Structure formats: structure tokens, C-alpha cells
């Protein structure tokens, strides 16, 4: 897994050194409620994430840095038999919302997956009332494919409706 950079952001592969920042971000209420993390995300959850066999095999997680400061995280995971389809998510510290950071990060990851990892489809699920995330996906060239009803198993609200967005090679 490599560092991805653009003029706006630097994406650094997740490692032990990111524990406190990752845990801090995952517990910010505006992030926690959207990204399906346990209501209290602990250091044990973080260790479990890093040591999970899936982590090395199919998951790619980067911390997003702007001016050498961690401002968010972005992840994706390969699914399907031959790893040509990826699904992911992202979150940004609310103090940095509205500066184009998520869009810059997603564009980097999408390009990396399509051009360097042989992806043929990159997809994302988003709640219909998450206007900012929908805008990020559309700015990055993802297209809405439909509404999946009671599709996503949320941590605390049962099965929820989500839009499927995708970008195809």
C-alpha cells in the first residue's frame, strides 16, 4: 500500500501511529452516526481493525493529511472473487468541512483503484439525507444507480435505506 498525494491532500496508509487520531475522529458525533462505528469507538476497536486478517488482505485505509495534519480518513475494500470491485467510505473532521478535502481524497483513491489496482467498479453507499457526501460522490464522477431499501445494517437503527453510487472503468 502506498502514500497517495495531490496538491490538496496526502493519504498515508493507516498504522499504529494513527491510533489516537483515528479513535478521536471515530468518536466525533457527526462522524460516528454516519459511518456505522460503535457508539463508543475504543482503542480496542482500533487494534482489532489493524489486526483483522481482512485488513492486510482486502482492506485499504488511509489517513488524510492536509499541511502535515491529520484531518480525516478514507477506506476501501475489495469485494468479489477477483478483486475488481471496491466499496468504501470517508470522513473528515468537522473543523475542516467544506474545503474540498473529501473530494480530493476520494478522487485520489478512485484513480488509484482504477488505474493501478485493476478495479472495474468502485462503489459507495450513502444515506439519502447525507447531502454533503452525495455531492462528494457526484463531484468525483460517481453515478447514482438506485435506492436500496432496508439494505444497510446500521449499528443502531436496524436496516436503513441507502443510495448506491458507482463509477465504472
Ligand X SMILES: CC(C)(COP(=O)(O)OP(=O)(O)OC[C@H]1O[C@@H](n2cnc3c(N)ncnc32)[C@H](O)[C@@H]1OP(=O)(O)O)[C@@H](O)C(=O)NCCC(=O)NCCS
Site for ligand X in 88-127 (CB under 6 A): 89-92, 97-103, 126
74 binds ligand X (CB under 6 A): no
Task: Report, in Å, the least distance between residue 92 CB and ligand X.
Answer: 4
Closest residue to ligand X, based on beta-carbon distance: 131
Q: Which is nearer to ligand X, 53 or 158 (CB)?
A: 158
When binding is defined by CB under 6 A, the residue of 2, 30, 144, 150 that contacts ligand X is 30
Give the nearest distance from C-beta 129 to ligand X in angstroms. 8
Q: DSSP letter string over 32-94? A: HTTTT--SS--HHHHHHHHHSHHHHHTEEEEEEEETTEEEEEEEEEEESTTS-EEEEEEEE-G
Classify burial at 19, counting beta carbons within 10 Å of its beta carbon; exposed 0-12, middle 13-18, buried 19 or more: middle
Minimum CB–partner distance for residue 82 and ligand X (Å): 25
> Which residues form the interface with ligand X (CB under 6 A)?
30-31, 34-35, 89-92, 97-103, 126, 130-133, 135-136
Amino acid at each position: 500500500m502506498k502514500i497517495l498525494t495531490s496538491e490538496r491532500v496526502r493519504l498515508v496508509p493507516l498504522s499504529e501511529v494513527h491510533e489516537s487520531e483515528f479513535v478521536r475522529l471515530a468518536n466525533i458525533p457527526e462522524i460516528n452516526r454516519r459511518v456505522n462505528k460503535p457508539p463508543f469507538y475504543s482503542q480496542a476497536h482500533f487494534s482489532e481493525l489493524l489486526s483483522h486478517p481482512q485488513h492486510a488482505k482486502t482492506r485499504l485505509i488511509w489517513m488524510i493529511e492536509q499541511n502535515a495534519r491529520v484531518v480525516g480518513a478514507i477506506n476501501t475494500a475489495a469485494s468479489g472473487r477477483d478483486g475488481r470491485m471496491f466499496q468504501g467510505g470517508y470522513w473528515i473532521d468537522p473543523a475542516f468541512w467544506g474545503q474540498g478535502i473529501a473530494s480530493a481524497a476520494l478522487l485520489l483513491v478512485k484513480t488509484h483503484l482504477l488505474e493501478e489496482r485493476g478495479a472495474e467498479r468502485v462503489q459507495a453507499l450513502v444515506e439519502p439525507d447525507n447531502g454533503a457526501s452525495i455531492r462528494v460522490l457526484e463531484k468525483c464522477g460517481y453515478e447514482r444507480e438506485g435506492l436500496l431499501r432496508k439494505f444497510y445494517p446500521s449499528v443502531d437503527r436496524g436496516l436503513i435505506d441507502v443510495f448506491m453510487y458507482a463509477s465504472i472503468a
